[in-house]
Amino acid sequence: MDISTVAHDPSVRCADTSPSFRLGRGKNAPRSGALPAMKRATDIVRAGHWPTGERADTVTLLFDDRYRRRLRMLGDGGLDFLLDLVEPIVLRTGDGLKLEEGGFVEVLAAEEDLVEVKGRDAAAFARIAWHLGNRHLPAQIGTDRILIRDDHVIVDMLKGLGAEVRKVKAPFDPEGGAYGQHNHDLGHRHGPLHEDRHG
């Protein structure tokens, strides 16, 4: 389901038009109709460290929506809740958003349009990784491939370096430094998302 945005009003916490609203992208997310009273998720428990038997719902998010402090969300199963953290935290697949009233919402990474980058050998792969890192681009590094967002300028540069590139759809989970060092590289791509990234 496409992400929808409505007016931001942090003073209102009922299920109306505030604060900024992000829909989960799962198949079962409702498309219309009244929403139940909104719950609050105030803590993050990393994947593997929360009881999956207490899962109340899942929420499927693009990478841009997995670095937030305060954001209203609608789970894949219809749970309306407010992510309300002390500071922005990068959410990873499998993390649990702990609800104040009890239970967890599991975070799932949505598939995105990405570019897969490979080198002809280990030396070429290392050289490609260095050039991408030198440009502070969010990148997901695997044993034999790197995933980046589709950018024709970067793709052309990589081809010039002899890299093998192809477009893929996959969840995007880049290295932590992409946010830890404030190398967001997001604002020019996603407009309104940039306005509420830090609160």
User: Domains in the chain and their CATH numbers?
Assistant: 21-109 (2.60.260.20), 112-179 (3.30.70.790)
The two structure tokens encoding residue 29: 């997310």
Local structure of residue 53 (DSSP, 8 states): G
Give the Cα separation of 101 and 6 in Å (integer): 25
| pLDDT per position as a tens digit, 181-199 | 333 444 333 333 233 333 4
The two structure tokens encoding residue 165: 């590139």
| pLDDT per position as a tens digit, 51-106 | 999 999 999 999 988 988 999 999 999 999 999 999 998 899 999 999 999 999 99
- Confidence (pLDDT) at 131: 94
| pLDDT per position as a tens digit, 97-124 | 999 999 999 999 999 999 999 999 999 9
Give the Cα separation of 31 and 87 in Å (integer): 30
Find out whether the peptide bond into 19 is cis, omega within 30 degrees of 0: yes
Q: Are 27 and 4 in contact (CB under 8 A)?
A: no
Q: Which amino acid is at 8?
A: H
Q: Are 122 and 74 in contact (CB under 8 A)?
A: no
Local structure of residue 36 (DSSP, 8 states): P
- Confidence (pLDDT) at 175: 82
Pairing of strands 111-118, 164-171: antiparallel
**Does the pLDDT at position 180 exceed 90?**
no
| pLDDT per position as a tens digit, 9-38 | 333 333 333 344 555 655 555 555 554 557
pTM recorded for the entire structure: 0.66
